[in-house]
Amino acid sequence: MSIAIYPGTFDPVTNGHIDIVERASKTVDHLTVGVVEISSKRTMFTIDERISLFAEAIIHVPNVSVQSYSGLTVNAAREIGADVIVRGLRITSDFEYESEMALMNRRMAEDIETICLFSALEYQILSSSRVKEVAALGADVSGLVPQNVWEPLSERIAQTKQDNAS
Ligand code: ADP
């Protein structure tokens, strides 16, 4: 049985991430989305929020689950029995970072292979940080993030603006 992990911050999940999950899930028996626990001061959404937003958005994909992890991705992969790490590539931005990360992970875990997938052309300039940036400036993000993210995203942006004003 082939098990893979798709690690990331997913703050919040975008349609680019969903595209990668849909492609990866066709190539393995089970895919676990690993949402990395980092300080909530550095993310817009808490770990629990990032997990539930992702889980709701991939409810239509049967062989995918979502869970948190902390520390090294290779250790998280071992814990769930995964021998593949899935990463997504955007042609203009990700190659250098992703190849360095893949080679470092290989150095630590020779038995775990990183597989990089390309998202659809329409998602090639899409990132969580760009979504947050344009949403804060009032852009319509409906084609960029799953529908269940629209409301929490605009609420969080409104809340941040209110906090900054007071
Ligand atoms: P990070 O893991 O660096 O915190 P993210 O959580 O945003 O970044 O993304 C997780 C993975 O998904 C990374 O491999 C990233 O390159 C990939 N990814 C993010 N957005 C897209 C996209 N629009 N198309 C393809 N891959 C993407």
Residues 20-59 have pLDDT tens digits of 999 999 999 999 999 999 876 799 999 999 999 999 999 9
CA torsion 10-36-40-13 (nearest 10°) is 10
Does the beta carbon of 12 sit less than 6 angstroms from any atom of ligand 1?
Answer: no
**CA-proximal residue: ligand 1, atom 23 (nearest):** 16
Tell me, what's the pLDDT at 56?
A: 98
- Pocket perturbation via mutation, ligand 1, pick of 53, 90, 114 by most ligand atoms within 8 A of CB: 90
> What is residue 34's three-state secondary structure?
strand
- Which two tokens mark 20? 């990668």
- Which two tokens mark 124? 């090639």
Atom of ligand 1 nearest to the CA of 36: 4
Quick one: average pLDDT of 142-151? 97
Tell me, what's the pLDDT at 49?
A: 97
- Pocket perturbation via mutation, ligand 1, pick of 13, 32, 89 by most ligand atoms within 8 A of CB: 89
Please tell me the distance between residue 7's alpha carbon and the centre of ligand 1 in angstroms: 9
Residue-range domain boundaries for the chain: 3-165
Residue 109 to residue 114: CA distance in whole angstroms: 10
Tell me, what's the pLDDT at 112?
A: 98
How does residue 152 score in pLDDT terms, banded at 50, 70 and 90? very high
How does residue 91 score in pLDDT terms, banded at 50, 70 and 90? confident
Tell me, what's the pLDDT at 142?
A: 93
Place of tokens 């550095």: 42
Please tell me the distance between residue 88's alpha carbon and the centre of ligand 1 in angstroms: 5
**CA-proximal residue: ligand 1, atom 7 (nearest):** 10
Of the chain, the percentage scoring pLDDT greater than 90 comes to 90
pLDDT surpasses 90 at 164: no
Of the chain, the percentage scoring pLDDT greater than 70 comes to 99
Tell me, what's the pLDDT at 74?
A: 98
- Pocket perturbation via mutation, ligand 1, pick of 6, 9, 15, 17 by most ligand atoms within 8 A of CB: 17
Residue 50 to residue 12: CA distance in whole angstroms: 6
Quick one: average pLDDT of 145-160? 95
Architecture in CATH of 3-165: 3-Layer(aba) Sandwich (3.40)
**CA-proximal residue: ligand 1, atom 17 (nearest):** 88
